[in-house]
Structure 1
C-alpha cells in the first residue's frame, strides 16, 4: 500500500499551524487528547510524501522542546491509502517540483530520517559487527579454499560490510561529512578484520592457489564492472525500500568479504601478486557500489545539503572508477593478466 502513520505531539497552541502543514502532505488526519501538556495529531501519509512532511515539521517546530514525531508502517487501512494519478498532492510552492522519474523512483522510498536510522544501526563498531565480519571472512575463506560455492554464497549473504558501504554512498549523496567519516572508519576496521581472518585461514590449512573459487577472486573483467554497477544500484533500491541490510540478496554478486578473505589467504601463503589482484577486485566493487549508489539515491530524490559538495564527491568516485577501468583495459590490452 505504501502508507505510513505519522504521530505528532505538540502543545495545543501550535495546532493551527500544524494542521495547515499536515494538510499539504496528506488527506487523512485526526486529533487526539493525550495526558500531559501536548496534544496528538495522527495522519496517514503516502510513503512518497513522508520525507517532505518530516522536513517541514522540523523547519517549523524544530525549536519546540516538546516536539515528538513517531513514524510507523501501515499494513492495512479502510478505506485504503491509494497511490495513483488521482491522489497526487501538489508540491508546496517552496519546494522544487520533482521530475516524473524522481516521482516514479521515490514513491516507495523510505524518508530520509528512516534511512538515517537504518544506516546508523550498521555503523556502530560493536562486538557483534566485528564477530560477524570475522565469521563471514572465515566462512568465505574456507569455502573458497575447498571450492564449495554454496559455502561462499553463505558468507556473501551475511554481508557485514554492506551497511558501511551504503552509509558511504548515502553520506556522499546528502553531503554529510560526519556520517561519511563514521561509515569509512567502520568499513576500514571491517576490511582489516576480514583480511586478518583470511590470513588465519592461510596459515592454518593447506591452500591450493589454483582452486577456481580462490583464483576467480583475483581476476577482474570489464563485465564485472558493469555487473557491480548494476548490483550496486539494485542494492540501494532494496535498501531504500526498507529491506534489511543482511537480506539485500541483490548485492551477493558484488560481495566485499570474499575478495578480502582471498587477499588475506594469498598474503599468508606468500602469493603477493594474487593478493594484489584480490584487493583490486575489492576496490572495483567498492567504487562501483558507491558510484551506482549515489546516482540511485539522487534519482530517488534524496535531497543533498549542497549540490556542489555532492557533485564533487561523485566526481571523485567516478574518477576512481575511470582510473580502475583504464588500468584494467591496459592490463587486458598488453596481456599482463596472463
Structure 2
C-alpha cells in the first residue's frame, strides 16, 4: 500500500480543530503542531485517498495564506494494514500536474537528448542495427509533451496545452530536419528492413500505438519508471519520423508519406489512449466551474481522435 504524509501550514488563528480532520475519509492518523503564529496540520493517508484529503484542505483553508506539502513515506510503524479490496492508485492531481508540466518543457537537456536519440536512430536504421534503435528509443524524450497535452485537456488547462503543442512542434522540426539532412548525404535504400517495415502499413500499427498510449498514461499516473514506457512510446514515434525525414532527404517523396502516415497513426492513438485513461481514473480540475468545461473538452477531444483514427483506418484499408 502506498502512503502519503501531508502537511498543511496555516495561520494559527484559522485552525478549526483536529477532531473533525480525524473523521475525514481516508485519514489514517492526524496531528497538529503550533510554532508561534503558524499551525502545521499533519495527516497520514493512502495514495488513493490523498487527493480527497488535499482537496478538503484546499476547501477549508484555500482563502488563507496557507501551503500544503505532500511527502512519500518510506515506512511507518505500526504498519498500515492493506484493505482487502484496493481501489486503483494514482498520483494526486497536483503531483501529476507538476510531473507532466515539467517534462513538457523544451529544455536544453531535452533538445540535446532528442538530437542524440535522432542521430542514434538514423545510424540504427541505416545499419539495420536493432540494438542502436533500442538505444535511441531509451533516450528519446517523446513521452512528456504528448502525455501533457492529453492531461491539459482533462483538466482544462490551456496554458499547459499550448506549452505541450509548442514542445511537440519543436521536437518534430528537430527530428525531421536532422533526418532530411542525413537522408540527403547517406545512401538510403527502400530495401532496408528498418525502412521497409515502416512504409508497409497494416492494422497492427494501430494496435501497437494504442498499447503505447495506454502504457505511457498508466506509467505517468502510477509513477512507474518511464524508461520502459519511453521505449514503447519511441517505438511508435521516433523511428517512423526518422524514416520519413530520411526518405524526404533521399528523394523518395511518395514513399515517405507511408512513414508519415504511420507516425500520425501513433500520435492519434497515443493521445486518444491517454485521454481515455486519465478520464477513467477520475482526473479532473479542482475548481468546480472548470469541471464541466473539462468534460466538454475531453468529449470533443475523444471524438476528434476517434474520427481521425477511423479515417486513417479507412486509408490503410484502401491503400
TM-score, normalised via structure 1 length: 0.86
Alignment partners' CA distance in 2, 1:253 and 1:134? 14
State the match for 2:139 in structure 1: 158
* Match for residue 210 of structure 1 among 191, 197, 206: 191
Alignment partners' CA distance in 2, 1:253 and 1:194? 12
User: Secondary structure in 2 aligned to 1:175?
Assistant: coil
Alignment partners' CA distance in 2, 1:17 and 1:218? 66
Residues 66-81 of structure 1: pairs in structure 2 closer than 5 A: 67-81=66-80
State the match for 1:192 in structure 2: 173
Shift of 1:15: 2.1
Alpha carbons of structure 1 residues 250 and 190: separation in structure 2 relative to 1, 3 Å: closer
> Are residue 251 (structure 1) and residue 232 (structure 2) matched?
yes
Alignment partners' CA distance in 1, 2:163 and 2:50? 26
Alpha-carbon deviations, 1:233-284, whole Å to 9, x = none? 1221111111344452562474311111111111110111222111111110
Shift of 1:84: 1.1
**Number of aligned positions between the proteins:** 311
User: Secondary structure in 2 aligned to 1:78?
Assistant: coil
Question: What stretches of structure 2 of length at least 5 have no aligned partner?
Answer: 286-290
* Match for residue 112 of structure 1 among 88, 93, 109: 93
User: Secondary structure in 1 aligned to 2:141?
Assistant: coil
Question: What stretches of structure 1 of length at least 5 have no aligned partner?
Answer: 87-102, 332-338
Shift of 1:4: 1.0
Shift of 1:59: 2.6
Alpha-carbon deviations, 1:91-117, whole Å to 9, x = none? xxxxxxxxxxxx733xx2001101111
Conserved? CA contact 2:183–2:245, under 8 Å: yes
Q: Please give the root-mean-square deviation of Cα atoms over the aligned residues, in Å.
A: 2.0
Alpha carbons of structure 1 residues 247 and 6: separation in structure 2 relative to 1, 3 Å: farther
Conserved? CA contact 1:171–1:180, under 8 Å: yes
* Match for residue 279 of structure 1 among 260, 274, 284: 260
State the match for 2:28 in structure 1: 27
State the match for 1:3 in structure 2: 3
Shift of 1:229: 0.9
Alpha carbons of structure 1 residues 295 and 22: separation in structure 2 relative to 1, 3 Å: farther
Comparing 287-296 and 18-27, the one that deviates more = 18-27
State the match for 1:327 in structure 2: 315
* Match for residue 123 of structure 1 among 100, 104, 108: 104
State the match for 1:84 in structure 2: 83
Conserved? CA contact 2:143–2:233, under 8 Å: no
State the match for 1:221 in structure 2: 202
